[in-house]
Amino acid sequence: MPKLLHLQVACAENRVIGRDGKLPWRIPEDLKFFHDQTAGNVVVLGRICYETWPRVRLDGRRPVVVTRHAALATDGVQVAGSLAGALALAEALPGEIHICGGERIYAETLALDRPMRLHLTLVHAEVPGDTYMPEWRHLAWREVARRESADANYRYTFFTLDRG
């Protein structure tokens, strides 16, 4: 049986996830959550996410990068030309599979007909940006957990949602 897919995303109420190749906020609690969740596991991510996360391989993460540029493969970093190819590589590696974006990777993952768990940090703000989480709310999720939190700048809720 294929492994459960974990999707990791922090998203504003207007579905913004990124701006100018970076996160559009700095929320230390969410960053720590993301790092803890993905440590020791396989992370599947697009080329921009990979290039903007130089320390991705710290804490035992095994990156599988989706890109047309096979030359990006290096020691400990696998590369695939499609999400399907990346998932096949990820399946063969030890550890959980965490899908870390960006936009097209999330869209293609949400379109898959297989069990998945969405770890969603919903940031309760309308935030300007240029990269979006594709609409997920129409899909049949079961809420497994929810925890509200806040810092000096934002209120946010950590959701765990299962599907399939």
Enumerate binding residues for ligand NAP (CB under 6 A): 9-10, 17-18, 21-23, 45-49, 66-69, 81-83, 100-105, 108, 131
- Cβ neighbours for 129, distance < 8 A, ≥ 6 positions apart: 12, 16, 17, 18, 19, 24
Cα–Cα distance for residue pair 72/56, rounded to 1 Å: 14
Closest separation between CB of residue 57 and ligand NAP, Å? 16
Pairwise CA distance, residues 133 & 105, whole Å: 10
Nearest distance from C-beta of residue 149 to ligand NAP, angstroms = 16
Q: Considering beta carbons, is residue 1 or 119 the nearer one to ligand NAP?
A: 119
Work out how close the CB of 26 gets to ligand NAP at its nearest, in angstroms, rounded to a whole number. 11
User: How many angstroms separate the CA atoms of 65 and 127, rounded?
Assistant: 27
Nearer to ligand NAP, 9 or 110 (CB): 9
